[in-house]
Structure 1
Amino acid sequence: MTVVGWAYELAESLLRESLPRRWQHSQGVATCARRLAPLVEGRSEVLEAAAVLHDIGYAPALVETGFHPLDGARHLRTIPDADDRVVRLVANHSFALLEAEERGLSAELAGEFPLFDDPLLVDALVYCDMTTTPDGERTTSEARVAEILGRYWVDSVVGRFIRRAEPEIHAIVERVRAMADAAGVML
């Protein structure tokens, strides 16, 4: 089985029943990742696998710290032959380190899962996550940030984190769009 096939099976088994909306979001993020495949060349399977797995840490069976990037990556790390690139992308997706700081978990996250050194894959995953609604539909990064702030109050951990990350989220979305336009990739 391919890394992508395995990733879909795992994410579905963890999210479909317990968190169906989160499963819809994950599928939408993975669909976006497939559209970006021409930009990431030989790393498209890594991107798509990370995209469909990025939120598995929300699954009730995996919650340990309550910080989904860390909980999801810790679970993936226990699976034999899990691709380290996928694990590290899940751990650090969408500015997780900023949220980890807000939660007092930055030492654990950085120590266990160093930032992934492939800026294009990191940006592509941010793009996909931050342009996909909770229901798996396409959206703008502005609408996505507003939606997140609407679900969590502004002064919550998530609210503080997303406000700190917001300028860079929008910059990454624009950067990926420009790269896609230049390469003739339809988003």
Structure 2
Amino acid sequence: MTTVEGAYKLAEGLLRESLPRRWAHTQGVAACARELAPLVGGGAEGLEMAAVLHDIGYAPPLVDTGFHPLDGARHLQALGTMSGLVVRLVANHSFALLEAEERGLRTELAAEFPLPGDLLLVDALVYCDMTTTPDGGRTTSEERVGEILGRYGADSIVGRFIRRAAPEIHASVGRVRAAADDLGVVL
């Protein structure tokens, strides 16, 4: 199995040169995942690995369908060194099923990579991705959704998806914050 260090090497090799801003975002998402380690307990390593790998499907050599969660997860599955949980988290990050539906790929994504059963890990990855700016800084989920809409446009596939997903994104972020408060974890 790939280690956290191996996941970082893989993601860096795919993103740092060709997509430096995406690499900065990825590093910020992974840093957030490390902060959530006390919240997710035994799932901390898997969360961090999924966080650092969640956007590898944007890497030019991996683009197949043009839908980065599916392209990234397929690559990880083909490598055969990643846990099924990590691959499924990558495939389903940040309500990818809703975007897959916009792209006509929902059935394919759901069949190949079912949503993981550990919903705290799913929410934690949403939290990390949707509270991290494209440059790797911290933000709110409201600002992040607004930034995505501004970048892609409201009528684009991504724009339609993010508008549909926004209530779910904000709810995930709220659940993570509430769980952190209950445990005394400072976010």
Query: The TM-score by the shorter chain falls in which range?
Result: over 0.9
Q: Distance in 2 between matches of 1:112 and 1:128?
A: 24
Partner of residue 122, structure 1: 122
The alpha-carbon deviation at position 82 of structure 1 amounts to 1.3
Amino acid at match of 2:141: S
Q: Distance in 2 between matches of 1:71 and 1:80?
A: 15
Partner of residue 23, structure 1: 23
Q: Distance in 1 between matches of 2:119 and 2:32?
A: 17
The alpha-carbon deviation at position 61 of structure 1 amounts to 0.6
The alpha-carbon deviation at position 81 of structure 1 amounts to 2.4
The alpha-carbon deviation at position 80 of structure 1 amounts to 2.6
Q: Distance in 2 between matches of 1:120 and 1:89?
A: 11
Q: Distance in 1 between matches of 2:182 and 2:165?
A: 26
Gap runs ≥5 in structure 1? none
Name the TM-score, length of structure 1 as normaliser: 0.98
Q: Distance in 2 between matches of 1:81 and 1:147?
A: 34
Partner of residue 141, structure 1: 141
Partner of residue 10, structure 2: 10
Amino acid at match of 2:102: E
The alpha-carbon deviation at position 179 of structure 1 amounts to 1.1
Q: Distance in 2 between matches of 1:36 and 1:7?
A: 18
The number of aligned residues is: 187
Name the TM-score, length of structure 2 as normaliser: 0.98
Deviations 1:20-43 (A, max 9, x none): 000000000000000000011011
Q: What's the RMSD between the two structures over aligned residues?
A: 1.0
Q: Distance in 2 between matches of 1:116 and 1:175?
A: 17
Structural mapping, 1:20-169, within 5 Å = 20-169=20-169
Amino acid at match of 1:162: I
Whether the aligned pair in 2 keeps the contact of 1:3 and 1:46 (CA below 8 Å) is no
Amino acid at match of 2:18: S
Amino acid at match of 1:165: A
Q: Distance in 2 between matches of 1:108 and 1:62?
A: 17
SS at match of 1:86: helix
Report percent identity of matched pairs.
76
